[in-house]
Copies of this chain bind each other. A is one copy, B any other.
Amino acid sequence: MTRVRTDLFVSLDGYTSTTDNTPSNPMGVDWGRLTKAHTGTRTFRERVFGDTSGAGTTGVDDTYVASFFEGAGAEIMGAGMFGLHAFPDDPDWKGWWGDRPPFGTPVYVLTHTAPRPPITMEGGTTFHFRTGPIEDVLAEATEAAGGLDVRVGGGVGTARDFLRAGLVDQLHLTVAPIVLGRGTRLWDDLSGLDRTHTVTTEVAESGTIHVTFTR
């Protein structure tokens, strides 16, 4: 059965994503600290950077990263995550991930601007652009996933839209043991999530806390 799942990064003080983004540094300077344990894993290095040297951490963090990449049959993301806000006027923009994005599935990009034709990339990724309600896009992605999971990839605003609408079956938080003091707040309007979902917690060798809400 298809599950809808999302993975987010958050600091101890509840900041996810960052607010100091610029076109030349689209993720902001805090982003590296927030995602350090995740991007330092062997699986991430292999899947995203194509680094097959075996470098990178193994252990609990790597297990979660491997799970992240497994079992997804479709992806949904916001326009900002794809880069439409940073490059609104470039009809040839194909996302941040190079010619061979790490998704390997249909990717549905939510946008309010003029529809674009789909973009077929190497490795099984096709970007589709959709302007409809999230429920409709989710129905299409679920159909495309063919029984595998639908991943709501981000950004935070998109993930929060799905969470608030009660559409997410599994929320996995990678909690970095840092106090950012600035950024986008994760938790507003999510009270009660621990009543509809079961919460599990685990600490990795890096000190990173993994919190998973499942229903």
Contact = CB atoms under 8 A, between A and B. Distances in A.
A12 B187 contact: yes
Interface stretch (A79-87, A98-106, A121-129, A174-182): A174-182
B179 A193 contact: yes
Contact of A181 (B177, B180, B191, B203): B191
Contacts of A209: 201, 203, 209, 211
A27 interface: no
A29 interface: no
Contact of A14 (B14, B182, B202, B207): B14
Contacts of A211: 12, 177, 209
Number of copies: 2
A162 B55 CA distance: 43
A20 to B, nearest CB: 13
Interface in A172-215: 177-182, 186-187, 190-194, 199-203, 207-209, 211
Interface residues of A, number: 25
Given A12-B187, A14-B187, A211-B12, A194 B177 contact: yes
A13 interface: yes
Secondary structure of the A side of the interface?
A: loop
A169 to B, nearest CB: 17
A100 B29 CA distance: 52
A14 B175 CA distance: 13
B194 A179 contact: yes
A199 B179 CA distance: 10
- Among A180, A190, A194, A200, find the residue whose CB has the most chain B CB atoms closer than 10 A: A194
Contacts of A194: 12, 177-179
Contacts of A202: 203
A207 B13 CA distance: 19
Nearest to A210: B203
Given A13-B190, A178-B194, 8 more contacts: A12-B194, A12-B211, A177-B194, A181-B190, A199-B207, A201-B208, A203-B209, A209-B209
